[in-house]
């Protein structure tokens, strides 16, 4: 069985209890990793990466989230782990997760996404199927969310300290098939998925799903306000470039079995 790490804020004991109850119910054990907050960031990092006067910047919340995942990667490397499961503390887990963890060592991918948001994802035909009918598919999208993934040591070494983790949200950096560091990794996902963030399901079920991000603390996009035309032109160019690249790639990869489908959550 793979080692399990989960990221949790000290200020959210409700989420810690939520995760520990799930682990107990599934017969799993996990190691808690203290999440970083914006107050843990150095002044130099905030100045370099969280300055809203720059055209590209990260909010302190987004940056501290990425650094929390880096803390887990550092921990797994220091412990000499070859492959681990990494979870955020608002992940609802499927009852099929223990079965998959027993088989995960048989898969060669450096990164296996076990999460879904329910959105359509560009995937290839399944190349591995477990005894419980879980498909492991290579994918070509950049899905949102970093609540659950299996990571090999080689991937942690490629991800740790990568410059794009200082300019992009962690999911965009890890899962991009076109740009580093995601493009450096062999990546697959589990279908149906084995976890989903509480925020992606029905509202009002539990306070555990309440976000810890205070919207009042989100920095305004000062660069966009100061340079509206320049910012709008840059955004349009990025959208056109990305849209054209994705369209050409999708047509080209269809001959290799690429198709678009909803990845559901395994009950």
pTM over 0.85: yes
pLDDT band at 57; cut points 50, 70, 90 = confident
User: Can you tell me the distance from the alpha carbon of 87 to that of 74, in angstroms, rounded to the nearest whole number?
Assistant: 15
User: Can you tell me the distance from the alpha carbon of 129 to that of 143, in angstroms, rounded to the nearest whole number?
Assistant: 22
Tokens linked to 247: 């369209």
Tell me how many degrees the CA angle 249-155-139 measures, rounded to the nearest 5: 30
pLDDT at 241: 81
141-186 tens-digit pLDDT: 999 999 999 999 999 999 999 999 999 999 999 999 999 999 999 9
Q: Identify the three-state secondary structure at position 204.
A: coil
Which range is most confident: 59-63, 88-92, 106-110, 167-171?
A: 88-92
* Cβ-based burial of 28 (10 A; exposed 0-12, middle 13-18, buried ≥19): middle
DSSP 265: B
* Cβ-based burial of 123 (10 A; exposed 0-12, middle 13-18, buried ≥19): buried
Q: Which alpha helices (DSSP H) does the chain contain, by range? A: 13-26, 43-49, 60-78, 97-103, 153-159, 170-175, 222-226, 228-254
What domains can be seen in the chain, in order of their start residue?
Answer: 4-262 (3.90.550)
| Cα-based distances in Å from 91 to 87, 107, 115, 145, 193 | 7, 23, 9, 10, 12
């Amino acid at each position: 069985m793979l080692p399990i790490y989960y990221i949790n804020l000290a200020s959210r004991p409700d989420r810690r209890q939520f995760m520990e109850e799930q682990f107990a119910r599934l017969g799993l054990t996990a190691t808690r990793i203290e999440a970083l907050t914006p107050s843990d960031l150095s002044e130099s990092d905030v100045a370099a990466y969280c300055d809203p006067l720059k055209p590209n910047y990260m909010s302190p919340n987004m940056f501290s989230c990425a650094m929390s995942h880096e803390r887990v990667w550092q921990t797994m490397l220091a412990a000499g782990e070859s492959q681990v499961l990494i979870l955020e503390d608002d992940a609802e887990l499927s009852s099929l997760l223990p079965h998959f963890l027993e088989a995960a060592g048989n898969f060669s991918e450096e990164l296996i996404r076990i999460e879904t948001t329910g959105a359509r994802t560009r995937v290839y035909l399944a190349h591995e199927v477990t005894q419980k009918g879980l498909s492991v598919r290579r994918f070509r999208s950049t899905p949102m969310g970093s609540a659950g993934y299996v990571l090999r040591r080689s991937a942690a070494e490629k991800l740790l300290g990568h410059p794009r983790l200082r300019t992009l949200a962690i999911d965009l950096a890890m899962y991009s098939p076109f740009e580093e560091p995601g493009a450096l990794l062999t990546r697959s996902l589990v279908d149906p998925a084995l976890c989903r963030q509480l925020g992606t399901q029905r509202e009002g079920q539990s306070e555990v799903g309440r976000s810890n991000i205070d919207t009042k603390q989100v920095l305004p996009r000062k660069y966009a306000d100061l340079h509206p035309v320049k910012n709008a032109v840059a955004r349009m160019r990025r959208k056109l470039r990305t849209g054209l690249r994705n369209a050409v790639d999708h047509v080209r990869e269809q001959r290799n079995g690429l198709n678009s489908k909803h990845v559901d959550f395994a009950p």
